[in-house]
Chain A
């Protein structure tokens, strides 16, 4: 349970992971946007554009709708705060991050839920039709995505006999054959669908829509401006990069630092960045090929993910 790694290295990992997620999130979004634009035959903004947008927003004025209470300014803090905790304790770069013994898969899932709930409450706090609409849709999709996520997580935890993230990754490194097993592949697809749903990407939600009636996430954050909007956008991209990095490390763990030391860490940083970028590009290509689903077709997609993850658990029981 206790880390055998030197304190300096653990602190370095924690800082690197937090910074990596803070900067990597917007960069991943920029990359995905770039790929999308290229595939659609446009030049597209530079990859660092989301970071520039955040800087611009941070300088603007903060506003707050007349009827909003203290929940409204608190919600962006919660979204970024919860994700930041996950960024520190989750094994994104090394198998022994700071407080890694407390990095439980269920705790991570519920921390993400805490962020979503805060944002939905912030949306309802504005007292507008769009806030309520976005919150209602986002919570419905979230409620249906949760079973698929938890059961997919369960399928990963069963062979490792633990729901502790570093343990799962360490054990799958020791048993590479697990990774090709049917339960892994089924859980992988289910997990991917959940990532798409949770981070509000196509085909569940269109992040670049300008029509209020089709918005989900964007409708919730319509009222935010300035630094608050910057935090919301940052939080959104951080959640995406955390989920993608976790996905990459759970299913393709090679390259993650298994021992302390600058060289291991540097290698792991490059490997993780490459994995995340690869998943991001794949997601972007997928998005170009897909149209947005009707809202009431989304539950079918999530039910499909749930069935896949149940199948994954059952096959985990059949194959020892």
Chain B
């Protein structure tokens, strides 16, 4: 059954792409969206079947890719990721029905978007190196085309796409080398053969392949320092595409690291995982710091993706480290925590990106400093954004809290350990997690408080209205899942446990106590998210009732206190820049913001200021300190190299002669 559905997924997806390419403009969007939703439905059903039964779905054909064959095996681990992509895909497609920005209705976009979603559904099922790289590259190219959709109207899009193209191809090259290295040593390019023989590979092969794979997958996941494309490309992509990229595509980076590190290589020495943890902690801190200081709504969300990928990497790294030091059961808990965070991140980041795109469509801007007061003018999208923001801040009773709690528990119980690597890595991990949590809370108070509350800061924000129904339905499904998974996490925990077991092959009893409470077996104390939700509801109702009893008369609308002035305008409100300013100052050494103060004086006297203009810019320090010099170096090298071939035939003949002599010398 799952096998047939696995075959149907790409076929329906291709049909959607064909319809998008040939159908007349009027019915193009609804028809191709409907077919894409059908493809996602097939993928979701296949994934559910595999997760339920535990039997992998297999598809092999040697007609599709010459010589290599096309091989798909959907196991429980892959099925979890296919399920995530399918749910996000369905919601993004529902959203797209009402979305009319960015030229997403064009023929090219309607053709490429279904292809992109299909690759998202198939990559986790790829079972050989060539199949994997084929699908991976197809995913990269289709997503690049989708980022570029709006390039004619805005030049930033082109810059963003350039960054994305360079970084994704750099990552793909690293992946290619790493996976081919493994395949040559295994003598076969199928994942099963690599997994069976990898234990006998020389240590340097395993180590090199792992580092290359972490670089390759890390660049897709937006891991620091390979994240620079992400805060550019995700904001510039059309709404549904940015949601798909942030909620479904980056997950595949985590998927790859776990698949290769835990399954193909069967785990490794502690330094691999310390590296992953270090990169995770760095990504989490750097991402959360930048998202706390960004004022562009979608850029803020993109940085927060880097931050959440960091948390997932912390979990994956902790899991590998536990396995390397012999704590099998804790390794499983940490991996389950990381996988749950992948699921929950997809749900809340998907809903946040979709509602941010709704806000962008309604107001025409993503600049938080231009927004405000949207909770009243957008009575559905506003609360949906709020739910996503509370979830990402890991607050009970929403789902972000569950995965963060589990990750903290795993790290906590690894602690009384004689192993120095664990003893140093875990407290630092918890510290990074905690600081990230605090900064994320600040970020979303800023995003929701400045964007949705208070007075509108621009004409556009004042005139905004609610978006079309299909848009808030698509967002609403994901936002509802935030709450459902938060109150009843047992709906996903078994799937995550099965997925983690199938990839690590761990034969340990289920370390989690399931049901309405989550706990670790053998450890006192549990988390009861359902009870917390109920408690919150009861407590707030009680307090509200008490307020009702003592209240006299209706609530009077008053003017806010303005220090004695009568007029309150939006210009007096705090902006997002101002909100993040104390934090920018605290972390000045890390962020190094550039301040620019232009003061012009009145012509008659220098003692009177005519106008003052303060400008502050906050660049990505990795971009400024590393990528820009590297790009300049490459340009310089290109210019130098161009001087060598000057068009003279004599010179080229001389090159040939010199090359021949070198070859002869080397061979002799």
State the A residues within 8 Å of B (CB): 1, 58-59, 61-71, 73, 76-78, 80-82, 84-85, 88-89, 99, 101-102, 104, 106-107, 110-111, 113-114, 116-117, 120-121, 123-133, 135-137, 139-140, 142-147, 149-151, 154, 157-159, 161-164, 167, 212, 222-223, 226-228, 231, 295-296, 299, 306, 310, 313-314, 316-317, 320
Partner of B405, one of A59, A107, A140, A164: A107
B582 near A140 with CB under 8 A, answer yes
Query: How far is B428's CA from A58's CA once the two chains are assembled, in angstroms?
Result: 47
B438 near A146 with CB under 8 A, answer yes
Question: Can you give 18 contacting A-B residue pairs, CB < 8 Å?
Answer: A62-B551, A82-B539, A85-B536, A102-B517, A113-B393, A114-B396, A125-B453, A143-B435, A143-B439, A144-B435, A167-B524, A167-B525, A226-B551, A227-B550, A296-B585, A310-B428, A310-B431, A316-B415
B658 → chain A, closest Cβ, in Å? 60
Residues of B within 8 A of A66 (CB): 557-560
B49 on interface, CB distance cutoff 8 Å: no
A142 near B438 with CB under 8 A, answer yes
B338 → chain A, closest Cβ, in Å? 17
Residues of A within 8 A of B552 (CB): 59, 61
Chain A residue, CB-CB nearest to B398 = A114
User: Chain A interface: which of B1-9, B234-242, B441-449?
Assistant: B441-449
A63 → chain B, closest Cβ, in Å? 5
Query: B365-379: which have CB < 8 Å to A?
Result: 372-373, 375-376
Query: How far is B373's CA from A107's CA once the two chains are assembled, in angstroms?
Result: 32
Chain A residue, CB-CB nearest to B427 = A313
Query: How far is B150's CA from A199's CA once the two chains are assembled, in angstroms?
Result: 49
User: Chain A interface: which of B166-174, B406-414, B638-646?
Assistant: B406-414
B228 → chain A, closest Cβ, in Å? 25
Partner of B417, one of A1, A71, A147, A317: A317
Partner of A81, one of B536, B560, B562: B536
B396 near A107 with CB under 8 A, answer yes
State the B residues within 8 Å of A (CB): 292, 372-373, 375-376, 390, 393-396, 401, 405, 408-409, 412-413, 415-417, 423, 427-428, 430-431, 433-435, 437-439, 441-442, 444-446, 448-450, 453-455, 517, 523-528, 531-532, 535-536, 539-540, 542-544, 547, 550-553, 555-563, 568, 570, 572-575, 578-583, 585-586
Quick one: given A61-B553, A110-B394, are A124 and B450 in contact (CB under 8 Å)?
yes
6 nearest A-B residue pairs (beta carbon)? A132-B574, A164-B525, A124-B449, A143-B438, A127-B454, A146-B438
Residues of B within 8 A of A58 (CB): 550
B431 near A1 with CB under 8 A, answer no
Residues of B within 8 A of A77 (CB): 540, 543-544, 547
Quick one: given A102-B526, A102-B528, A136-B579, are A142 and B442 in contact (CB under 8 Å)?
yes
Contacts A104-B527, A121-B453, A310-B427 known; list 15 others, CB within 8 Å: A61-B553, A65-B558, A69-B453, A102-B528, A113-B393, A124-B454, A127-B560, A135-B449, A135-B579, A137-B582, A142-B441, A143-B292, A143-B438, A146-B435, A310-B428
Chain B residue, CB-CB nearest to A165 = B525
Query: How far is B522's CA from A167's CA once the two chains are assembled, in angstroms?
Result: 13
Partner of A1, one of B434, B524, B579: B524
A73 → chain B, closest Cβ, in Å? 7
B561 near A113 with CB under 8 A, answer no
A280 → chain B, closest Cβ, in Å? 24
Chain B residue, CB-CB nearest to A142 = B438
Residues of A within 8 A of B409 (CB): 163
Residues of B within 8 A of A226 (CB): 551
A124 near B574 with CB under 8 A, answer yes
Residues of A within 8 A of B390 (CB): 114, 117
A315 → chain B, closest Cβ, in Å? 11
Quick one: given A65-B559, A128-B561, are A114 and B395 in contact (CB under 8 Å)?
yes
Residues of A within 8 A of B526 (CB): 1, 101-102, 104, 164
A306 near B574 with CB under 8 A, answer no
Residues of B within 8 A of A70 (CB): 375
A140 near B586 with CB under 8 A, answer yes
A179 → chain B, closest Cβ, in Å? 18
B405 near A139 with CB under 8 A, answer no
Chain A residue, CB-CB nearest to B436 = A147
Query: How far is B531's CA from A132's CA once the two chains are assembled, in angstroms?
Result: 33
A295 near B427 with CB under 8 A, answer no
Query: How far is B426's CA from A158's CA once the two chains are assembled, in angstroms?
Result: 11
A59 near B401 with CB under 8 A, answer no
A106 near B408 with CB under 8 A, answer yes
A212 near B438 with CB under 8 A, answer no
A117 near B551 with CB under 8 A, answer no
Partner of A64, one of B454, B553, B557: B557
Quick one: given A67-B454, A135-B579, A161-B416, are A117 and B393 in contact (CB under 8 Å)?
yes
B435 near A127 with CB under 8 A, answer no
